[in-house]
């Protein structure tokens, strides 16, 4: 039975949070794996999708499929409206000032590449500095290294302590007249650390430096308000927030986006083309060359609809309880070391077990139908900081339960037994 809806201060009817009820929305969770019920704890890699998002995308292909912004016919108009409605929903969700500050991209990776290749290439010169941190995903390292190799910019790395927290006082000292950008992760995909990004933006702005936030692991677990954060760019992926793969968002402040040159070029990003001269289209189209992932945009709209109808404070509390519960249970296992013990954490636990390779942990847990991720998690420099080649990582979503954590713990004891 569905729990009774609540009405929040904005008058929007909210469905109260009930984990069993939420699980019913995700058809994939009913699956058996190796004759055991699937326990999906790899949500930082990608989350599962609710039926309503799947249905919205099927409905789009069944009833609306057409190209957008081009046709005068009925279907093209319908498809354009659905795609653009997705943009407006995202704008409201992250409280951007304008819908045209929402650029649809393939995901966080493309969003950061866009900023590096457009803003960075246009504005940086030899000797300019970009600040990133020791806990960045490769997606927020390599695009800046490409610019370093091409233009001679310098990368400055914010160090971390042994809990996996940034040294903010060291970050503050890194700014000088050559600093041109700070690009930092909001929530680490390995450590789960929630970085104090608001404070970091304030510091950067004191030096007139814009900030890009990699929100790939934050958007689904925290309330993100880009105006409150005052960040200049915010990047995230649809597929980690219960939405489709192949679509994500770059939020950018209007003034910065207006001044930036296009990242890719072709159809839809132009107003007019002659062999002599091309006039670029207005925002956001200037950054969306070619036929975009239309069904992805529609799916993102359905994703926001889905998230918005659930009491998000209750989701946050549930996720926090699961994280605390799992942390306490894991700490009780002899020979197991947590990688990432920051005070402020969200939904990700990495660990290593003495003398057992993380891949073996993952493989044995899979026999029990438990999906975790093992490896370097696309954060090899961070692995080096903790002097480990890889970790095992359990990452949680709103549909995970304490019973699933118990199964994980039982599975880990079985792993230890196999190797003892």
DSSP lists the bridge partners of residue 92 as: none
Least distance to ligand C6P from the beta carbon of 386, Å? 16
In angstroms, rounded to a whole number, what is the distance separating the alpha carbons of residues 412 and 405?
11
Q: Which two tokens stand for residue 214?
A: 């990699």
Q: Which lies closer to ligand C6P via its Cβ, residue 109 or residue 117? A: 109
The CA-atom distances, in angstroms, between 48 and each of 32, 43, 145, 202 are: 15, 7, 33, 35
Least distance to ligand C6P from the beta carbon of 279, Å? 31
Q: Which lies closer to ligand C6P via its Cβ, residue 107 or residue 120? A: 107
Residues that bind ligand C6P (CB under 6 A): 44-45, 107-109, 137, 139, 185, 189, 214, 216-217, 237, 373, 377-378
Q: Does the annotation mark 231 as catalytic?
A: no
Q: Which two tokens stand for residue 95?
A: 């409280």
Q: Which lies closer to ligand C6P via its Cβ, residue 239 or residue 281? A: 239
Neighbours of 227 (CB within 10 A): 11
Least distance to ligand C6P from the beta carbon of 184, Å? 10
**Of residues 4, 3, 41, 39, the one with CA closest to residue 21:** 3
Give 396's Cβ-side CA count (13 Å radius).
Answer: 32
Q: Which lies closer to ligand C6P via its Cβ, residue 45 or residue 270? A: 45
Least distance to ligand C6P from the beta carbon of 108, Å? 4
Work out whether strand 248-252 and strand 102-105 pair parallel, antiparallel, or are unpaired: antiparallel
**Of residues 97, 66, 120, the one with CA closest to residue 283:** 97
Give 227's Cβ-side CA count (13 Å radius).
Answer: 10
Q: Which lies closer to ligand C6P via its Cβ, residue 80 or residue 340? A: 340
Active-site residue among 378, 388, 401, 402? Answer: 378
Least distance to ligand C6P from the beta carbon of 400, Å? 16
Inter-residue contact 219 to 47 (CB < 8 Å): no
In angstroms, rounded to a whole number, what is the distance separating the alpha carbons of residues 111 and 116?
9
Count Cβ atoms within 10 A of the Cβ of residue 59 and give its class: 0-12 exposed, 13-18 middle, 19 or more buried. Answer: middle
Least distance to ligand C6P from the beta carbon of 337, Å? 20
CA 121 to chain centre: 24
**Of residues 6, 4, 3, the one with CA closest to residue 313:** 6
Q: Which lies closer to ligand C6P via its Cβ, residue 45 or residue 154? A: 45
Active site residues: 378
């Amino acid at each position: 039975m569905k729990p009774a809806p609540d009405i929040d201060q904005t008058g929007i009817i909210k469905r109260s949070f009930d984990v069993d009820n939420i699980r019913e929305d995700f058809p994939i969770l009913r699956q058996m794996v190796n004759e055991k019920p699937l326990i999906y704890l790899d949500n930082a890699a990608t989350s599962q999708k609710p039926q309503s998002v799947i249905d919205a995308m099927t409905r789009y292909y069944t009833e609306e499929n057409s190209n957008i912004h081009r046709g005068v016919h009925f279907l093209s108009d319908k498809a354009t409206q659905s795609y653009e409605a997705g943009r407006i929903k995202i704008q409201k969700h992250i409280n951007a000032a304008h819908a045209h500050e929402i650029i649809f991209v393939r995901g966080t990776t493309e969003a950061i590449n866009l900023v590096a290749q457009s803003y960075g290439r246009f504005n940086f010169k030899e000797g300019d500095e970009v600040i990133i941190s020791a806990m960045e995903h490769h997606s927020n390292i390599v695009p800046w290294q490409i610019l370093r190799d091409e233009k001679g910019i310098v990368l400055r790395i914010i160090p971390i302590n042994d809990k996996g927290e940034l040294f903010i006082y060291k970050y503050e000292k890194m700014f000088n007249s050559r600093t041109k950008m700070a690009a930092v992760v909001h929530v680490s995909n390995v450590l789960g650390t929630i970085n104090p990004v608001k404070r970091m933006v304030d510091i950067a702005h004191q030096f007139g430096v814009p900030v890009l936030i990699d929100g790939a692991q934050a958007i689904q677990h925290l309330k993100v308000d880009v105006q409150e954060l005052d960040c200049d760019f915010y990047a995230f992926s649809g597929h980690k927030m219960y939405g489709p793969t192949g679509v994500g968002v770059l939020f950018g402040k209007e003034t910065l986006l207006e001044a930036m040159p296009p990242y890719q070029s072709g159809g839809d990003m132009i107003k007019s083309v002659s062999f002599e001269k091309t006039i670029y289209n207005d925002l956001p189209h200037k950054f969306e060359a070619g036929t975009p992932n239309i069904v992805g945009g529609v799916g993102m709209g359905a994703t926001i609809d889905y998230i918005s109808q659930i009491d998000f404070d209750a989701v946050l509390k549930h996720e926090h309880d699961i994280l605390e519960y799992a942390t306490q249970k894991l700490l009780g296992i002899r020979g197991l070391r947590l990688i990432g013990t920051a005070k402020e954490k969200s939904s990700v636990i990495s660990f290593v077990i003495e003398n057992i390779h993380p891949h073996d942990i993952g493989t044995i847990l899979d026999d029990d139908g438990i999906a975790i991720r093992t490896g370097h998690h696309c954060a090899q420099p961070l692995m080096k900081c903790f002097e480990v080649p890889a970790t095992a990582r359990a990452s949680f979503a709103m549909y995970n339960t304490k019973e699933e954590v118990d199964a994980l713990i039982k599975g880990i004891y079985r792993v230890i037994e196999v190797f003892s």
